[in-house]
Amino acid sequence: GQQLNQSPQSMFIQEGEDVSMNCTSSSIFNTWLWYKQDPGEGPVLLIALYKAGELTSNGRLTAQFGITRKDSFLNISASIPSDVGIYFCAGRPYGGSQGNLIFGKGTKLSVKP
Amino acid sequence: SQTIHQWPATLVQPVGSPLSLECTVEGTSNPNLYWYRQAAGRGLQLLFYSVGIGQISSEVPQNLSASRPQDRQFILSSKKLLLSDSGFYLCAWSVPEEYTFGSGTRLTVV
Residues of B in contact with A33 (CB under 8 A): 97-99
Flag if A106 and B43 touch (Cβ within 8 Å).
yes
Could you give the percent of chain B with pLDDT greater than 70?
97
Higher per-residue pLDDT: A89 or B58: A89
DSSP reduced 3-state for B91: strand
Residues of A in contact with B51 (CB under 8 A): 99
In terms of Cα–Cα distance, which of B87, B88, B90, B50 is closest to B72? B50
pLDDT digit string (tens) for A5-24? 999 999 999 999 999 999 99
pLDDT digit string (tens) for A28-63? 999 999 999 998 899 999 999 999 999 999 999 999
Cα A66 to Cα A54: distance, rounded to the nearest angstrom: 8
Judging by DSSP bridges, how do beta strands B19-26 and A85-93 pair with one another?
unpaired
In terms of Cα–Cα distance, which of B92, B94, B93, B89 is closest to B104? B89
CB B89 within 8 A of CB B33: no
- pLDDT (average), residues B55-63: 84
Question: Residue B94: what pLDDT?
Answer: 87
Cα B98 to Cα B20: distance, rounded to the nearest angstrom: 26
Whether residue B74 is predicted with pLDDT greater than 90 in this model: the reply is: yes
Question: Residue A53: what pLDDT?
Answer: 96
Distance from CA of B63 to the nearest CA of A (A): 23
**Cα-based distances in Å from B92 to A13, A92, B59:** 31, 16, 15
If one counts every other C-beta atom within 10 angstroms of the C-beta of residue A73, the result is 18
Cα B85 to Cα B15: distance, rounded to the nearest angstrom: 9
pLDDT digit string (tens) for B12-35? 999 999 999 999 999 888 899 999
Confidence of residue B1 (pLDDT cuts 50, 70, 90): confident
CB B32 within 8 A of CB B96: yes
From the list A39, A92, A103, the residue facing B44 with the nearest CB is A103
CB A111 within 8 A of CB A79: yes
Whether residue A98 is predicted with pLDDT greater than 80 in this model: the reply is: no
CB A69 within 8 A of CB A81: no
Flag if B98 and A41 touch (Cβ within 8 Å).
no
For residue A1, the 8-state DSSP code is -
Question: Residue B41: what pLDDT?
Answer: 60
Question: Residue A1: what pLDDT?
Answer: 59
Question: Residue A23: what pLDDT?
Answer: 97
Flag if B32 and A103 touch (Cβ within 8 Å).
no
Residues of A in contact with B32 (CB under 8 A): 99-100
